[in-house]
Every structure is written in structure tokens, then in C-alpha cells.
Amino acid sequence: MKIVITGGAGFIGSNLAHALAQRAEVSDIRVVDDLSTGSKDNLVGAGVHLVEGSVLDGPLLDRAFRGADVIVHLAAVPSVSRSVADPLTSHHANATGTLMVLEAARRAGDVHVIAASSSSVYGANTHLPKHEELRPAPLSPYAVGKLAAESYLAAYHHCYELPVLPFRFFNVYGPRQPAGHDYAAVVPAWINAVTTGQQVLVHGDGLQSRDFTYVETVCRVLAEAVLRKVVSADPVNLAYGTRTSLGELITELEAVLGTPIEPRHLPPRPGDVRHSHAENSRLRSLFPAVEPVPLREGLERTVEWFRAQAR
């Protein structure tokens, strides 16, 4: 089986590449990545072929997709706050980039496309838990781009019979997630702050909640979707219905890191949602064998990885 992972040198993509490299059914893994947020170091030992370049480059995609069985499209400019600062770059990468991937998948022979959307599409819709039939209400350019991306997947399935599967990722965390920059996700940002002697910054009152999902859990689902070629034009929440406030996350990290954390509160960031909590019956029906890694265990593994990098 020949697999292409766009954005495969990034956080989730590289973890998926390593996971798929262990599967006997997979003979060839190609990674398309412009290395704007990913790193070649993430792919060491995965045995992949790196095609360095952008998903906005049609001829490059044609070369990369030739002979592929499944494309896992993870390439994106991540971060709500980054999209607020630079909405055009976010749109080009996330919406137009997905359209380019879909067109190249058609040219390659209607290759199966699995793609990442985001829980951010629920936005201002306050209903909890978030189920896939809710009306999207994006609050940021990032969320708009992701909603456009999953809408394109559905349209290509219905208009061209392209096999697709859009996943709405919730707050994924774990090894290889970058820290130490302005747009870092909360888990790596806080672990990095504590381990380097910096102050933990909380945007808002800390009562906002998230459905944290360990990256290994996400990769188990993605691997099963790849190997079984699961198809759904409707989006699928990829999270397991947990709800953890940022204050509770600090308590968990205190226990794992073995040190007290005194956060400094800053004003809320534009575009951030207040609460995120997945309803996961659709996910469970499609992937009944996958069980999630619990939060404490995931944080322990993540902290262990960060400490190993610092040695």
C-alpha cells in the first residue's frame, strides 16, 4: 500500500508516518511538506520519501501522488491566533491547499483522501457536546478555512465520486509538537515554560475547556482509516468526549511535572472558543476498536519526550 501524507514532517503527520511505517500492509510512505512548520528531524527513522514543497504546487502534487492508494492531507498553517494575524496566508494554505490536493487526487485516478478539519468550525455555537450535525459558526479565519476545506471534500465526493473522509480534530497534543513560539499550542507551551523556568501564560480566566486528544490516539484512528479505506462525506469528530478546563490541565501538569505552577492571566485571544467537547458516536461506530490514551498517561509521555529532547 502506497501512502502520501501532506504535512507529514509536522507534529501529527510525522507521528502518523512513524506509526504507518510499522504496518506490514504499508510498502511506501511519501511525505509532502514545505518545512514551514515541520522538520526533517521529525522523520528520522521513519523510512519515508520526503517531497519538499507546497501543496499549492500542482505539478509537485502530481509527482507525489502518482501510484498512491491513499492521501492523508494534514498540511496546513495551524493556529487560530496565527490566522487572525495573517488571514490570507491561512486561507491559501488551508482552503486553497485542500482544493489543490483534491484536484491532484482526481488527476491521479480518484485516490482516497483523508483530511484534517478542526473543532474550531463549531465556533460560537454554544451547544455541548459538539456533534457533527450542529450549525458551524466559525470565529476565526482559521476556522473558516477549515470549514471550506471539509466542504470541498464533501462536494468532490458528491460531484466526482471521490472517496473522502474529513476528520474534525480537537486539541491534539503529544511528542513532536513544537513549543517556544508565539503560536504554540497550550500543552507544549506550558511544558516548555515550566521546564525552562518561564511563567505559564493563560489567556482568559482558565475556566475555558478543551477536549484534549493524545496524538497516538489520533494516529491509531488515522491508520485504521487508511488501511480500511474508510469513506464518509460527512465530517467525523476525532476526540473522545472528555472536557478539561485549563485550570484542571494546570493541576494535571503540576502532578506530572512535580512542581507547582503559578500562571499569569492575560486577556482572552480573539477567535478562541470558550468550550470544546466532542460527541463521538460517529467516531465510535466507524472505529470501534480504538481506545483513547487517558489524559494523565498522555501528559506523562509528552513530558518524558520533552525532557529527553533537553538532554
Q: Are 303 and 202 in a shared domain?
A: yes
User: Which segment of 14-28, 56-70, 261-275 scores lowest on mean pLDDT?
Assistant: 261-275
Q: Label the pairing between strands 2-6 and 70-73.
A: parallel
pLDDT tens sequence across 128-159: 999 999 999 999 999 999 999 999 999 999 99
Region class of 181: left (phi > 0), else alpha (psi between -120 and 50), else beta: beta
Task: For residue 252, tell me if it sits in a domain.
Answer: yes
Q: Are 149 and 251 in a shared domain?
A: no
Whichever domain contains 22, its CATH number is 3.40.50.720
The number of folded domains in the chain is 2
Cβ atoms of 221 and 212 closer than 8 Å: no
- Helices 246-257, 295-310: inter-axial angle, 10-degree rounding: 60
pLDDT tens sequence across 10-41: 999 999 999 999 999 999 999 999 999 999 99
Q: Are 124 and 69 in a shared domain?
A: yes
Q: Are 196 and 220 in a shared domain?
A: no
Please name which of 39, 101, 116 lies closest in space to residue 65, comparing C-alpha atoms.
101
Q: Return the percentage of the chain with pLDDT > 90, whole number.
A: 94
Task: For residue 179, tell me if it sits in a domain.
Answer: no
pLDDT of amino acid 183? 67
**What's the chain's average pLDDT?**
96
Residue 180, pLDDT > 80, answer no
CA distance 93 to 77: 6
Residue 56 lies in domain: 2-172+213-240+278-293
Whichever domain contains 304, its CATH number is 3.90.25.10
Q: Are 288 and 302 in a shared domain?
A: no
Q: Label the pairing between strands 244-245 and 209-210.
A: antiparallel
Q: Is 238 helix (H, G, I), strand (E, B) or coil?
A: strand
Q: Are 94 and 26 in a shared domain?
A: yes
Question: 109-134 b/e with 16+ CB inside 10 Å = b?
Answer: eebbbbbbbbbbbbbeeeebbbebeb
Q: Are 91 and 117 in a shared domain?
A: yes
Q: Are 109 and 16 in a shared domain?
A: yes
More confident residue, 112 or 196: 112
